[in-house]
């Protein structure tokens, strides 16, 4: 009897052990299958991006049929996406924006596969270093474009059902409601806003004389550009709020430009009198996200305060600028503003960080937030209208005397850029070298 009990216990133990091993083997097989499916998903996504970049390298639409779902579900994504790609190809042809070289970076944040429904969800962040034909050999950089990609498995292959992302052009399309044909017409019209004439840097010579008067001091252009270089990607969130449009805010572009002019350019904030702390006050200042002026973060109001044209108000502090006719009359540290449609609202701002000088145009290169760009040709952005703001000097009184330099004739030159800030100088971007892995600048 005892022997039978012992035999039963041993048998039960062996069955339990065998069951555990079977479960472990099944679990391992499931994990292996999941890993394999995720790798297949990743391979399809990489092929999708490679086709996109080849499209702009050749300016001919690649064949996406093997990776994009063409059922009714997929067509609701692909048809408008195809229109957008055609708009971008046309824009690149008009403005000579073909990719001479490109290197893109994909940071896969999450890949979730549901084998029961044969579906997958991918969160991936795109960045790139490209050399445009128009600005060759300058390396232009973009980072932090978030894609939410839905996929399904068909006949053993993973296909893209949708790709949700918000780049500059999607923001234009959503805001304006323009069709493909209307946007192409807008691109044609924008050519008349960028005249091509003999190269010149015709800055008003009276600026030096005006700077000798009280109430103005030099604008530190080198400092503004260096600040833009340091924070175009790694935001200065220890001091300033990020007005991320993905979080429901209008965008961080003017906030970034204002920071560069204040922190690097040495401008003095313009505070209003008799206004309680709050959002949207007059002037040009930032104390906190809940205590800031309209002009610090809004494109239209930045223009109004910088040009000092607000009715009934004269600002004695802040950057002092004038609108100039075209890019020939700008310098590093100046500002470019863009309008997407025919309404009264200007939509985007960028700061000039350098130039490329093709034979046919004096071409500013800009840095901006939303999206994050550096050394981008200013006309790589699609616009209905554009305006150039040349910042002549800073209004107000500097706390300490600037370094005064003399040229060879012995004349004082207050327009020399003297770096009075800790921001490092940008790297030499004139060499045709694709620099740094994602996500570093």
Preceding omega of 439 cis (within 30 degrees of 0): yes
Residues ≥6 apart with Cβ < 8 Å to 294: 280, 281, 282, 301
Let me know whether 132 and 246 are in one domain: no
Let me know whether 292 and 348 are in one domain: yes
Let me know whether 73 and 158 are in one domain: yes
- What is the model's pLDDT at position 30? 47
Alpha carbons within 13 A on the beta-carbon side of 189 = 14
Task: Specify the number of domains making up the chain.
Answer: 2
CATH number at residue 114: 3.10.450.50
109 token code pair: 């944040």
Let me know whether 126 and 240 are in one domain: no
Asked if residue 390 lies in contact with residue 232, where contact means CB atoms within 8 angstroms, the answer is: no
DSSP assigned state of 284 = B
- What is the model's pLDDT at position 250? 81
386 token code pair: 């554009």
pLDDT above 60: residue 11: no
Q: Tell me: the pLDDT tens digits for 406-421?
A: 444 443 343 333 334 4
Q: Stretch 22-36: mean pLDDT, rounded?
A: 56
Q: Tell me: the pLDDT tens digits for 363-382?
A: 999 999 988 999 999 999 99
Residues ≥6 apart with Cβ < 8 Å to 171: 245, 340
Let me know whether 213 and 94 are in one domain: no
Let me know whether 125 and 217 are in one domain: no
Domain limit, last residue, from 165, 194, 214: 165
Task: For residue 246, name the pLDDT band (cuts at 50, 70, 90).
Answer: confident
- What is the model's pLDDT at position 397? 77
Q: What is the DSSP string of 44-74?
A: HHHHHHHHHHHHHHHTS----TTTB--SHHH
Lowest-pLDDT choice from 85-94, 354-363, 390-399: 354-363
pTM of the predicted structure, to 2 decimals: 0.82
Structure-model confidence comparison of residues 193 and 178, the more confident one: 178
pLDDT above 80: residue 31: no
Task: For residue 67, name the pLDDT band (cuts at 50, 70, 90).
Answer: very high
Q: Stretch 326-340: mean pLDDT, rounded?
A: 93
Let me know whether 51 and 131 are in one domain: yes
Residue 312 in any domain: the answer is: yes
**Domain range for residue 118?**
30-165
- What is the model's pLDDT at position 125? 97
Let me know whether 287 and 386 are in one domain: yes
Asked if residue 323 lies in contact with residue 335, where contact means CB atoms within 8 angstroms, the answer is: no
Let me know whether 157 and 280 are in one domain: no
Q: Stretch 238-243: mean pLDDT, rounded?
A: 94
Asked if residue 207 lies in contact with residue 199, where contact means CB atoms within 8 angstroms, the answer is: no
Average pLDDT in the chain = 83
328 token code pair: 């020939």
Among residues 359, 308, 311, 364, the alpha carbon closest in space to that of 337 is found at: 364
């Amino acid at each position: 009897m005892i022997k039978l009990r012992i035999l039963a216990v041993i048998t039960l133990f062996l069955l339990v052990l065998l069951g555990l091993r079977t479960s472990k083997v099944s679990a391992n097989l499931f994990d292996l299958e999941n890993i394999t499916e995720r790798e297949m998903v990743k391979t399809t996504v990489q092929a999708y991006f490679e086709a996109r970049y080849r499209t702009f390298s050749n300016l001919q639409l690649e064949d996406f049929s093997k990776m994009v779902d063409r059922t009714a579900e997929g067509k609701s994504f692909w048809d408008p996406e195809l229109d957008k790609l055609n708009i971008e190809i046309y824009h690149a042809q008009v403005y000579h924006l073909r990719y001479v070289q490109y290197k893109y970076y994909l940071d896969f944040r999450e890949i979730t596969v549901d084998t029961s429904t044969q579906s997958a969800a991918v969160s991936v962040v795109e960045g790139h270093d490209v050399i445009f034909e128009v600005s060759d050999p300058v390396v232009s950089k973009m980072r932090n474009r978030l894609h939410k990609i839905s996929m399904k498995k068909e006949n053993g292959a993973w296909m893209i059902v949708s790709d949700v992302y918000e780049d500059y052009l999607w923001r234009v399309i959503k805001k304006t409601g323009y069709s493909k044909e209307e946007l192409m017409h807008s691109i044609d019209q924008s050519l008349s806003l960028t005249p091509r004439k003999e190269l010149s840097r015709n800055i008003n010579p009276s600026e030096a004389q005006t700077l000798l008067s009280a109430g103005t001091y030099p604008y530190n252009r080198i400092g503004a550009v260096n600040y833009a270089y340091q924070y175009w990607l790694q935001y200065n969130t220890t001091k300033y709020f990020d007005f991320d449009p993905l979080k429901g805010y209008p965008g961080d572009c003017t906030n970034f430009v204002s920071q560069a002019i204040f922190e690097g350019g040495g401008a003095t904030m313009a505070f209003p009198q008799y206004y309680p702390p709050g959002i949207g006050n007059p002037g040009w200042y930032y104390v906190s996200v809940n205590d800031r002026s309209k002009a610090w973060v809004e494109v239209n109001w930045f223009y109004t305060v910088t040009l000092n044209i607000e009715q009934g108000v004269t600002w004695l502090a802040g950057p002092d600028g004038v609108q100039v006719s075209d890019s020939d009359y700008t310098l590093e540290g100046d500002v470019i503003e863009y309008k997407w449609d025919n309404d009264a609202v200007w939509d985007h701002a960028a700061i000039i960080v350098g130039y490329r000088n093709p034979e046919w145009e004096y071409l500013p290169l800009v840095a901006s937030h939303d999206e994050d760009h550096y050394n981008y040709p200013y006309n790589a952005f699609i616009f209905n209208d554009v305006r150039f703001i040349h910042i002549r000097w800073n209004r107000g009184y500097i706390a300490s005397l600037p370094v005064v330099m003399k040229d060879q004739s012995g004349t004082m030159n207050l327009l020399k850029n003297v770096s009075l800030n800790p921001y490092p100088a940008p790297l030499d971007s004139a060499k045709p070298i694709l620099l740094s892995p994602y996500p570093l600048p």
